[in-house]
A and B are shown apart, each in its own frame.
Chain A
Amino acid sequence: MKLTGSQIVVETLIEQGVKDVFGYPGGQVINLYDALYEYKDKINHILTAHEQGAAHAADGYARATGGVGVVIATSGPGATNLVTGIATAMLDSVPLIAITGNVPQNLIGKDSFQEIDITGITLPITKHNFFVHDVNDLADTIREAIQIATSGRPGPVLVDIPKDIQISFAEYERKPIVEKFPTVMPKPEKVKRAAEIINGKKRPYIYIGGGVISSNTSKQVLELAEKIDGVIGCSLMGISAIPTNEPRFLGMEGMHGHYASSMAQNTADVIIAIGVRFSDRATGNVSKFARKADIIHIDVDFAEISKNVEAQLGIRGDLSVTLDMLINEVEKKERPKWMDTVRMLREQEAETTDVGVGLTPNALINEINLIKDGDTVVATDVGQHQMWTAQFLNVSTPRTFISSGGLGTMGFGMGAAIGAATATGKKTVLVTGDGSFGMNLNELVTAVTFKVPLTIVVMNNKVLGMVRQWQTLFFDEHYSNTDLKDRYVDYVKLAEAFGAKGTVATTVDEFRKAFKDAYNSDGVNIIDCKIDKDEFVLPMLPPGGAIDDMITSTPKGGEC
């Protein structure tokens, strides 16, 4: 049947199983929005307050489900407002599809009103992008975009559609959901070699990243750990792959990682790195990183192998297939001495961890742990609150911890939480800080309008805490532009202004009650949690530092 380009876009999205899209209308997508109007019974559009919020929402939607998240924006400013969201998805390997309108092709290159070269702008921050020149290619381009975004290592794909394409007619034929590109098979001799290396080692540490979540291989990782009697640590992106209460799991390593996890990584004689890219925040000084260990690096993206840290053995392969083969090849072995060492490290960690007095970040997250269901998604923004959540949150289900890892995007949380809640249809929690929340709190309007069951926990310390922490440690307490004491925000009134509910919590008891009430309601709630500005994220490896440089107590002497 003959359809307009706009109808083809919507038909193809529906055909490919897309149920919800996020976006914001504008001049060069009016036709596309007309098609969304026509198909509104088959596809749900969520209007955000700002295109950035829509991009983060589509990202959060994808992270919560593993499927694609779709965002639509107009040309020019609509498209540029997506940039931070697309870059966030790129750095964290999220299958985001961004669809932008552009001026008609006869106006391209003439600096027309709201014209921007968005494929040029997003070249370095997309896995791939398309500019559609011919309406006859449109449906296949959308399909190909989804295929690229979801195959291998996922990533964002942008499709820019000029207005003349949206209004021209072409033949549309419904096609099945695209299959992913063929599975990347690891070389068996390499897997064999990996097993030999592991068999000869005494202290194996399995280091996992977001790849384990996107490839759905949590079970295999645990199975491997059991068989070799090893321990598991993760990067920020790996959080939620393994349940927090799993005895072999030591938690996040790196700059603000768990003491035991970082120390075990540094003590290990073999690191089996799975779907992780050795970010500088995770390794510190690479020349001093895990010097005692051989590194076996397994990833579907060959370009990650020996990019940041040299691997003694790199295996390119689909993680699920590779892990099955590796589990089969390695010897079952008990390593009691290693387990003793790890136990000792855990005891040392427990000694240095103190919940503290009053409404501390640790105490606050503990309360969330006690109240929330196991499958509740907790999203974060970026900063101290993010690290505290990463450290203390109990997580039992993959895809229930959503955070901007690679790009570290303050303002990510509101959109991401709305997206996750839309995807799961379940109660969602956002832990944010007063700095990050301020960046995109306009999306409160979206949450309230679409009746998103969202509890927003604002760790309000009236400072830009993470930068302030660095200023305390490395800049002689020169608190340049990080003190927000003169900023006045009444979060209760703010909530009310948007039709949400606001509460203030100054004690653990107040927080417990506020969180319970908020979490058990179906509405949007903000809890303004008064936190001490001198709370530190600890331990901390100074940027570019090594394990020996670990800071475990605040400079004022208080243990944390």
Chain B
Amino acid sequence: MGYYNEDNRFVIAVYVDNKYGVLSRVTSMFTRRGFNIDALTVGVTESPEYSRITITMSGDGYAKAQMLNQLRKLYNVKKVEVLDETTALERELMLIKIKNDQTHNQTILSAVDIFHAEIVDYSVDALCIEVTGPSSKIDAFIEFIKPCGIIEMCRTGVVALQKGGGSMLDMPDVN
């Protein structure tokens, strides 16, 4: 795909009507327009009228502009903003299950300590760790813990908020 010749990652926050089928409208548009996304999360917001979708995507300026335009065109989409990396809070949560192997015990415990993670389940065969933080921190944790034997893992994808007092909904419309 011509769109993705640069590895520029960006995070888009989208307010959508909290209605039946809206998520499939959004994801169907990605497929139809050939957009490739890295992660997507969706959940309730401060207002029962809206849900908030956070999309992580990589691409050049053209891909980014097309994505924003096509999102803004959808009838149920109320607000779309690219979050500014320098002033946004980004968090992701991971649950990761690792073999409970005596030889790696010390590595695991150090990792949990250093990354401010938490052991949430402990059994003879395995232990389960919860890690929260920016995606880069989670990536680093995975790299670190890999030699210990990962059984399975899952990540929530990014949720993000702009720092400061304002709400995204109050920002002026682009275009």
Tell whether A and B belong to one assembly. yes
Give the contacts of B46-102 with A (CB-CB under 8 A).
62, 65-66, 69-70, 72-73, 75-76
In the complex, A131→B73 CA distance in Å? 20
> Within the assembled complex, what's the spacing in Å between the Cα atoms of A148 and B73?
12
Closest A residue, CB atoms, query B74: A128
Does A124 contact B29, Cβ atoms closer than 8 Å?
yes
Q: Are the CB atoms of A123 and B25 closer together than 8 Å?
A: yes
Judged by a CB distance under 8 angstroms, whether A489 is at the interface is no
On whether the beta carbons of B24 and A302 are closer than 8 Å, the reply is: no
In A315-348, which residues have CB < 8 Å from any B CB? Answer: 316
Check if B166 is an interface residue, CB within 8 A of chain A: no
Contact with A along B6-50 (1 / 0, CB 8 A): 000000000000001100110011011000000000000000000
User: Is A119 in contact with B70, judged by CB distance below 8 angstroms?
Assistant: no
Instruction: With both chains docked as a complex, state the minimum distance between the C-beta of A39 and any C-beta of chain B, in angstroms.
Output: 29
**For the complex, would chain B's binding face be called helix, strand, loop or mixed by DSSP majority?**
helix
Question: Which single residue of chain A is at the shortest CB-CB distance from B32?
Answer: A124
In the bound complex, residues from chain A placing their C-beta under 8 Å from that of B66 are: 303, 307
A311 CB to nearest B CB, Å: 12
Closest to A301 in B: B73
User: Does B175 reach chain A (CB closer than 8 Å)?
Assistant: yes
B20, B29, B31: which contacts A131 (Cβ < 8 A)?
Answer: B20
Contact A123 B70 (CB under 8 A): no
6 contacts between A and B (CB under 8 A): A124-B31, A133-B20, A302-B175, A303-B69, A303-B73, A306-B62
Q: In whole angstroms, how far apart are the Cα atoms of A44 and B8 in the complex?
A: 56
* Residues of chain A lying within 8 A (CB to CB) of residue B29: 124
A120 in the interface (beta carbon within 8 A): yes
Task: Indicate which residue in B24, B62, B72, B75 contacts A127 across the interface (CB closer than 8 Å).
Answer: B75
Q: Among residues 294 to 312 in chain A, which have CB atoms less than 8 Å away from a CB atom of chain B?
A: 301-303, 305-307
Cα distance, A119 to B25, chains bound together (Å): 10
Q: Which of B28, B31, B69, B72 contacts A307 (CB 8 A)?
A: B69
Contacts of A306 in B (CB 8 A): 62, 65
Of A128, A133, A302, A305, which one neighbours B72 at CB under 8 angstroms?
Answer: A302
Per DSSP, chain A at the interface is mixed
Q: In the complex, which residue of chain B has the Cβ closest to the Cβ of A316?
A: B175
A98-132 with Cβ < 8 A to chain B: 119-120, 123-124, 127-128, 131
Chain B residues, CB < 8 A from A303 = 66, 69-70, 72-73
| Known A302-B73, A307-B69; 7 more pairs at CB < 8 Å | A119-B21, A123-B25, A124-B31, A302-B175, A303-B66, A303-B70, A307-B66
- Quick one: closest A residue to B66, CB to CB? A307
For A307, list chain B residues within 8 Å (CB): 66, 69
| A124-B29, A303-B70, A306-B65 as given contacts; A148 in contact with B21, CB under 8 Å | no
Residues of chain B lying within 8 A (CB to CB) of residue A120: 24
Q: Interface of A with B (CB < 8 Å)?
A: 119-120, 123-124, 127-128, 131, 133, 148, 301-303, 305-307, 316
A124 engages B69 (CB within 8 Å) = no
- The residue of chain B having its C-beta at the shortest distance from the C-beta of A153 within the complex is B73
Known A148-B75, A302-B69, A303-B72: A123·B24 in contact at CB below 8 Å: yes
| Distance (whole angstroms) from the CB of B48 to the closest CB of chain A | 17
Provide the bound-state CA to CA distance between A453 and B21, in Å.
Answer: 44
Measured between beta carbons, the chain B residues less than 8 angstroms from A131 are 20-21
| Contact, CB under 8 Å: B75 / A123 | no
Q: Which residues of chain A are near B31, meaning CB under 8 Å?
A: 124
Nearest CB in chain A: distance from B35 CB, A: 13
Query: Bound complex: CA of A156 vs CA of B75, how far in Å?
Result: 13
Q: Which residues of B contact A124 (CB under 8 A)?
A: 28-29, 31-32
Chain B residue nearest in CB terms to A184: B175
Also in contact, A123 and B28, with CB within 8 A (given A303-B70, A303-B72, A303-B73): yes
Least Cβ distance of A204 to chain B in Å?
25
CB distance from A130 to the nearest CB of B (A): 9
A148 to B76, CA, bound (A): 12
Instruction: List, in ascending order, chain A residues with CB within 8 A of B72's CB.
Output: 302-303
Chain B residues within an 8 Å CB radius of A305: 69
Min distance, Cβ B77 to any Cβ of chain A, angstroms: 11
- B residues within 8 A CB of A133? 20
**A198 to B: closest C-beta gap in Å:** 22
A316 to B69, CA, bound (A): 12
Determine how close the nearest CB of chain B comes to the CB of A287; give it in whole angstroms: 11
A98 to chain B, nearest CB (A): 16
Q: Please name all residues of chain A whose beta carbon is closer than 8 Å to the beta carbon of B25 when the two chains form the complex.
A: 123
Q: How far is the CA of A133 from the CA of B19 in the complex (A)?
A: 11
Chain B residue at minimum C-beta to C-beta distance from A310:
B62
Contact residues in B for A123 (Cβ distance below 8 Å): 24-25, 28
**B20 partner residues in chain A, CB cutoff 8 A:** 131, 133
Most B CB atoms within 10 A — which of A124, A128, A302, A303? A303
**Minimal beta-carbon separation of B21 from chain A (angstroms):** 7
The 3 closest A-B pairs by CB, nearest first: A303-B69, A128-B75, A302-B175
Which residues in A have their C-beta under 8 angstroms from that of B65? 306
Which residues from chain A contact B70 at a C-beta distance below 8 Å? 303
Could you tell me the distance between the alpha carbons of A45 and B75 in the complex, rounded to whole angstroms?
A: 30
Report Cα–Cα, A303/B24, bound state, in Å.
Answer: 20
- Closest chain B residue to A307, Cβ basis: B66
CA distance in complex: A254, B67 (Å):
28
Which of B28, B72, B73 has most A Cβ within 10 Å? B73
For the complex, give the distance between the alpha carbons of A302 and B69 in Å: 7
Tell me the bound Cα distance from A120 to B20 in angstroms: 12
Would you give the shortest CB distance from B33 to chain A, in whole angstroms? 9
Residues of A within 8 A of B75 (CB): 127-128, 148
Q: How far is the CA of A133 from the CA of B75 in the complex (A)?
A: 18
Query: How many angstroms from the CA of A301 to the CA of B73 in the assembled complex?
Result: 8
Report the minimum CB–CB distance from B172 to chain A (whole Å).
12
CA distance A175 to B71 in the complex (A): 32
Q: Once the chains are docked, how many angstroms separate the CA of A301 from the CA of B69?
A: 9
B residues near A302, Cβ cutoff 8 Å: 69, 72-73, 175
* Complex Cα–Cα for A305 and B21 (A): 28
B85 to A: closest C-beta gap in Å = 24
- Interchain nearest-CB distance for A97 vs B (Å): 15
Closest CB in chain B relative to A432 CB, distance in Å: 31
With both beta carbons as reference points, the residue of chain B lying nearest to A128 in the complex is identified as: B75
Considering the chains assembled together, what is the distance between the CA atoms of A123 and B24 in angstroms? 9
CB distance from A467 to the nearest CB of B (A): 26
Instruction: Give the chain B neighbours of A316 by CB distance below 8 A.
Output: 175
Cα-based distance from A405 to B114 in the complex (angstroms): 62
B68 to chain A, nearest CB (A): 9
CA distance A131 to B19 in the complex (A): 11
Q: Which residues from chain A contact B62 at a C-beta distance below 8 Å?
A: 306
State A128–B75 Cα separation when bound (angstroms): 7
